[in-house]
Chain A
Amino acid sequence: MADLALILVGALLVNNFVLAQFLGLCPFMGVTKSFAPALAMGLATTFVLTLAAIACHLIHHALLVPLGLEWLRIIVFIVVIASVVQFTELYLRSASPLLHQSLGLYLPLITTNCAVLGVALLVAGEGLSLPGTIVFAIGAAAGFSLVMMMFSAIRERLEGADLPQAFAGAPIALVTAGLMSLGFLGFVGLD
């Protein structure tokens, strides 16, 4: 249990995927201009990331390791992730049209979110067990969502700020992310 709790805190705060490991920066910079889309993207990513990590873990241990094909993992994982995204979309469309309406736009983009592939590869590389994989994926995804929400809230305030013209848009967003990352450095040592 204590191991799992450490994995969770590590993935959520200490090694935060966005601010400490630089994974998933495209949605972090791209869909955080306001709070609602950032929240939706965070939720959609959490769902897909957890499912994809479990699927990749199972396929890695049931298929790739016994056959000695670990070097094929990049190709296999990207196909698994694309399929999980596709099935999630099909399922959401029939099961919950309302949810599909709010999250559907973000689902295809998750295929190229390197945080999803990153979790699958990290889990395979570190040889985590299945419970460890699930906890690690949930922690990573929750950390991603947390940072997305915080960053979008700050960027909504930045909209009204009086900035030098050269810094408007992306540069000030990067500097803001840098300050947030500095804050997250304070978690180092928690685990």
Chain B
Amino acid sequence: MSGGTFTDAAIRRNPAWIQLLGLCPLLAVSNSLVNATGLALASGFVMVGSALAISTLRAWIPNRVRLPCFVLVIATFTTLSVLLLEAYAFELYLRVALFVQIIVSNCMILGRIEAFASRQPPWRACLDALGTAAGFAIALIGLGGVREALGQGTLLAGMEHLFGPGAAAWRINLGFDSAPFLMALLPPGAFLIAGLLLGLGNGLRNRLSPKPSLRTDFDEHGKTNPDIREAES
């Protein structure tokens, strides 16, 4: 039951790859593993903190002004994570600053809070938030790894900015003489590699479960909605 909440949120409803939420930070900071890990941790902190706070306070939040309340709570936790990063990982903060601040307008977080945390007891809300955060982290770190390996020929480079000087030794050289595919680090590479990975994932899923595939479409909220084509035509 509780494990189901977690894996459901992390894998089957993976916020980034299945629902395509939070694309801005996903594409922007996935140019290296250290940036990706830093933003995944910050987003996770905001997601879990605000889900816990809102689910604890849900009885006192008036229904009519609930969305402004949610946004304020999320903004508070975002500010906290900005201050924490500034204090303990300033080098990293300088690289991902804008996207840490923009966590507040990440529709993944507001979406999960509106759909789940505001209606459930704290421990379930916390599990769901952890699952969503883990799913986002998997997507972010996966894309970050592929882009760093292709663009720089390394893995885990610069981890000392996040985990202290000891982590400098984690750097793995993949044995290329120069950057194998520099474009992976540039903006076009983010879109192209994300698109190719998503297509690959769709192909694998079609292969594994030969049901008619669910075509990913979006409504205005960026949520997937397989019926939207019928509705529009």
A contact set with B: CB distance below 8 Å: 19-27, 29-31, 33, 71-72, 74-75, 78-79, 82, 105-106, 109, 111-114, 116-118, 121-122, 125, 164-179, 181-182, 184-185
**Residues of chain A with a CB closer than 8 A to B190's CB:** 22, 178, 181
Contact of A25 (CB < 8 Å), options: B24, B75, B76, B232: B24
Flag if A167 contacts B101 (CB, 8 Å): no
A182 to B187, CA, bound (A): 8
A125 to B99, CA, bound (A): 13
Which residue of chain A lies nearest to B198 when distances are taken between CB atoms in the complex?
A: A171
Number of B interface residues at 8 Å Cβ cutoff, please give it: 52
Q: List 19 A-B contacts (CB under 8 A).
A: A25-B24, A29-B218, A31-B220, A74-B101, A109-B220, A109-B221, A117-B104, A164-B199, A166-B199, A166-B206, A169-B215, A169-B217, A170-B216, A170-B218, A173-B195, A174-B191, A174-B195, A178-B188, A178-B190
**Residues of chain B with a CB closer than 8 A to A74's CB:** 75, 78-79, 82, 101, 104
Given contacts A25-B23, A78-B71, A105-B220, 5 further A-B contacts (CB under 8 A): A31-B220, A117-B104, A117-B105, A169-B217, A176-B195
Q: Is B61 an interface residue (CB 8 A)?
A: no
Q: Is B167 an interface residue (CB 8 A)?
A: no
Flag if A21 contacts B28 (CB, 8 Å): yes
A-B contact count (CB 8 A): 151
User: Per-residue 0/1 for B175-211: is the Cβ within 8 Å of any A Cβ (1 yes, 0 no)?
Assistant: 0000000010011111110111011101100100000
Which residue of chain A lies nearest to B205 when distances are taken between CB atoms in the complex?
A: A166
Q: What is the minimal beta-carbon distance from A189 to any residue of chain B, in angstroms?
A: 14
Contact of A121 (CB < 8 Å), options: B25, B71, B75, B98: B98
Flag if A170 contacts B198 (CB, 8 Å): yes
Flag if B220 contacts A112 (CB, 8 Å): no
**Residues of chain B with a CB closer than 8 A to A116's CB:** 105
Q: Taking chain B's interface residues, is the majority helix, strand, or loop, or is none over half, making it mixed? A: helix
Contact of A29 (CB < 8 Å), options: B23, B78, B187: B23
A178 to B196, CA, bound (A): 10
**Residues of chain B with a CB closer than 8 A to A26's CB:** 21, 23-24, 107, 221-222
Q: Is B83 an interface residue (CB 8 A)?
A: yes
Q: Is B133 an interface residue (CB 8 A)?
A: no
Which residue of chain B lies nearest to A116 when distances are taken between CB atoms in the complex?
A: B105
Which residue of chain A lies nearest to B86 when distances are taken between CB atoms in the complex?
A: A71
Q: What is the minimal beta-carbon distance from B101 to any residue of chain A, in angstroms?
A: 5
Flag if B28 contacts A30 (CB, 8 Å): no
Q: Is B68 an interface residue (CB 8 A)?
A: yes
Q: Is B110 an interface residue (CB 8 A)?
A: yes
A26 to B206, CA, bound (A): 26
Q: Is B173 an interface residue (CB 8 A)?
A: no
**Residues of chain B with a CB closer than 8 A to A82's CB:** 68, 71
Q: What is the minimal beta-carbon distance from A56 to any residue of chain B, in angstroms?
A: 13
Flag if A166 contacts B222 (CB, 8 Å): no
Flag if B215 contacts A171 (CB, 8 Å): no
**Residues of chain A with a CB closer than 8 A to B23's CB:** 22, 25-26, 29
